[in-house]
Structure 1
Amino acid sequence: MKKHAVLVFISSVLMSLFVFSRSDMQPMHAWNRAFADVSLLYLAVIILLGPLSRIFTSIRKLIPWRRTVGIWAALTAIAHVLIIFNGWIEWKFERLFFIFTPVGGDWIIHPGFALANLIGIIGLVYFLLLLATSNNKSKILLGKKAWKYVQSKATTLYLLVVLHTVYFLFLHFTDHSNWLRIPFIILVSFILLFQIVGFIFFVKRDKRK
């Protein structure tokens, strides 16, 4: 419970900062993106803990936090989706793949927009799967190997989230400036760098054994 209390506090602070940074947007869009940003940050922490624990042994004590952080990454992602469904597409699922053209006065399918949202839906399914199995009962039910296999899919989830984010940060509504573009590039590069370095450390330690 203490871990969840800490994550509630951190989430509240991060959400407030992200919403405040988008004070020029409609509240619905500001909150929607803020939840998505927090979810991405938590997912990045989960991915980073692996390679960092191989490089710095002191980081290993933080590994038990991965499950709790993963739960909050999923919860904030779900909140992100619920805001979109309730406040934007009004529970009309087809609007995730079509955009309205004021000139033609009609809804038309947009390939990039549709693909990005499809990737987002697949990512949500992954999130729900990880959330449903992030408990000891699932570990016993599935067996240790199967449970580890399911949980290892966090990397796949991360890639899906990155692809989904890339579209909406750099390709969709490019006329609207977004201060998160550069931090996002730095974060992704940082994760890639430490994954490579972590792999090198793993290979060296494996050879020593």
Structure 2
Amino acid sequence: MAVDPFNRGKHHAAVVVGSLALAALLWAAGYRFSRIIAAVPWFLLFLVLIIGPVTKIWPSINQRFEGNFPLYFRSELGIWFVIWSLGHVLLVFQLFGWDVVGFVVGMSAWAFAALVGVVIAVVLLFTSNIWAYRLMGPKAWKWHQSHGTYVMFWLFTVHIYDQTFLRGGGPTEDPLHLLYALSIVIIVGLHIGAFLKVVAHYRKHGKYPSGIS
């Protein structure tokens, strides 16, 4: 089963612990709270986006573990990505004295892209559950979640590009920004690799691998 709309308490707990561990690691590395609350959600989104292609390229991962691992962690990872992202947005609004209208009117196109991405994330949050799954049906729900996530990813990517390459007039030497750039390359590379493997399977067997519809 490639679609999993359920939310499990132990998965939420694991994601929270992992998120806080990453935050603690970044704090120990000397990053400010404002940077940490922006970094943690990005790396949660990174995990959401690589799980699918990784299991397509290396399907033995599903066979090695019980259940639907790691696919059944995507919902919880996505939910906490949104929660951390909202924390980041609220912190930005606080830094601007809660002048939300003034901030939105005067923001750069890159920042606006990120804000739209957060709005999409909130929509995905409220539909990442079994009730929305039953209402939309399996295929529509999967289309909604996957396409929304991809659009959101590219909106955040242009924001990261602004932070990494444009604002300072050249490539940053900040290791965190470089990790952002590397994670984007990894995500795109894995998705291309998974696509090519699915096409190769179809050309060889005349049908798509299980889980592709």
TM-score w.r.t. the length of structure 1 is: 0.82
Partner of 1:66: 74
Structure 2 gaps, min length 5: 1-8, 63-68, 208-213
Equivalent position of 1:141 in the other structure: 135
CA-CA distance at 1:130 after TM superposition = 0.9
Instruction: Give the alignment partner of residue 33 of structure 1, picking from 32, 35, 44.
Output: 35
- Contact 2:111 2:159 (C-alpha < 8 Å) held by counterparts: yes
Q: Name the SS for the 2:180 alignment partner.
A: helix
Contact kept? 1:123, 1:157, Cα under 8 Å: yes
Contact 2:163-2:177 within 8 A present in 1 as well? no
Paired residue for 2:23? 15
- Rounded to whole Å, the distance in 2 between the matches of 1:84 and 1:178 is 20
Identity %: 27
CA distance in 2, matches of 1:126, 1:164: 15
Whole-angstrom distance in 1 between the partners of 2:17 and 2:182: 25
**Which of 154, 160, 168 pairs up with 1:159?**
154
| Distance in 1 separating the partners of 2:124 and 2:118 | 10
d(CA) in 2 for partners of 1:80 and 1:18? 15
* Counterpart-to-counterpart distance in 1, 2:26 and 2:183: 16
Distance in 2 (CA, whole Å) between partners of 1:59 and 1:45 is 15
SS of the aligned residue for 1:180 comes to helix
Pairwise CA distance, 1:173: 4.7
Of the structure 1 ranges 141-150 and 190-199, higher mean CA displacement relative to structure 2 is found in 141-150
In the superposition, relative to structure 1, how do residues 58 and 32 fare at CA in structure 2: closer, same or farther (>3 Å)? farther
How much has 1:158 moved relative to structure 2?
0.8
1:191 is aligned to 2:198 = no
1:206 alignment partner AA: Y
Q: What is the alpha-carbon distance in structure 2 between the residues aligned to residue 59 and residue 31 of structure 1?
A: 35
- Confirm whether residue 92 of structure 1 aligns to residue 99 of structure 2: yes
Give, in whole Å, the separation in 2 of the partners of 1:174 and 1:14.
Answer: 29
- Verify the 8 A CA contact 1:35 1:80 in the aligned structure 2: yes
| 8 A contact 1:120–1:160 mirrored in 2 | yes
The alignment's TM-score, normalised by the length of structure 2, stands at: 0.81
Report if the CA contact (8 A) 2:164-2:178 is conserved.
no
| CA–CA distance in structure 2, aligned partners of residues 58 and 65 of structure 1 | 17
Structure 1: runs of 5 or more not aligned: 24-29, 99-112
Moved over 6 A (4+): none
Q: Does 1:47 find its partner at 2:49?
A: yes
Q: Does residue 125 of the first structure (1) align with residue 125 of the second (2)?
A: no
Q: Secondary structure at the match of 2:183?
A: helix
Q: CA deviation at 1:177?
A: 5.0
